[in-house]
Amino acid sequence: MQNLEKNLITSSAKRKSSKASALLKNGSGNVFINGKEGSQYFFSTSYDYTKILQPLTILNELARYDIFVKVQGGGIMSQLDAIKLAIAKALSKTDKKNRTILSSQKLLYSDSRIKERRKYGLRKARKAAQYHKR
């Protein structure tokens, strides 16, 4: 959904138990995640931060938007994927050409794999007790 102002674009995405909502605003390329600088929020490796910027690098719009993201739940990798999907969805709302480029790179599709539930009578989702013949 686009906000009342033309230069604000919002979108949201989910991955496993992580939920992310992104707001794109015309600016200079800053990324803020939960009020922190993006590289500071994901400080473990630089690969994490570049994964978030993947939709922007494909469209060559790294320095065009300021991005504000709220993310909660899940682990680091599921938060990364949720943020990347939210940013890609927001960028696809800016132009139809962007949508075709991002969908051809498979950035607008969410990964629907989730943790399998535990079944009664088993130790885990599929792990059973050892079978005894005698």
Mean pLDDT value across residues 37-48? 78
Looking only at the bridges linking them, the beta strands covering 18-26 and 36-37 are unpaired
The number of folded domains in the chain is 1
For residue 82, is pLDDT > 80?
A: yes
Residues paired with 19 in a beta bridge: 14, 72
> pLDDT grade, residue 48 (50/70/90)?
confident
* SS3 label, residue 2: strand
- What is the CATH number for 46? 3.30.230.10
Distances (CA, A) of 83 to 109, 111, 112: 13, 13, 15
Q: Identify whether 16 is part of a domain.
A: yes
Q: Identify whether 123 is part of a domain.
A: no
pLDDT, one tens digit per residue, over 49-68 is 788 999 999 999 989 999 99
For residue 4, is pLDDT > 50?
A: no
Q: What is the pLDDT of residue 50?
A: 85
8 A C-beta contact, residue 119 and residue 125: yes
Tell me the whole-structure pTM to 2 decimals: 0.86
Q: What is the pLDDT of residue 24?
A: 95
Q: What's the domain range around 89?
A: 8-104
Distances (CA, A) of 125 to 39, 71, 74, 128: 36, 28, 19, 9
Q: Which of the two residues, 2 and 131, has the higher pLDDT score?
A: 131
Q: What is the pLDDT of residue 6?
A: 65
Q: Identify whether 110 is part of a domain.
A: no
For residue 90, is pLDDT > 50?
A: yes
> pLDDT grade, residue 73 (50/70/90)?
very high
Q: Identify whether 38 is part of a domain.
A: yes
Q: Identify whether 79 is part of a domain.
A: yes
pLDDT, one tens digit per residue, over 14-32 is 999 999 999 999 999 999 9
Q: Identify whether 124 is part of a domain.
A: no
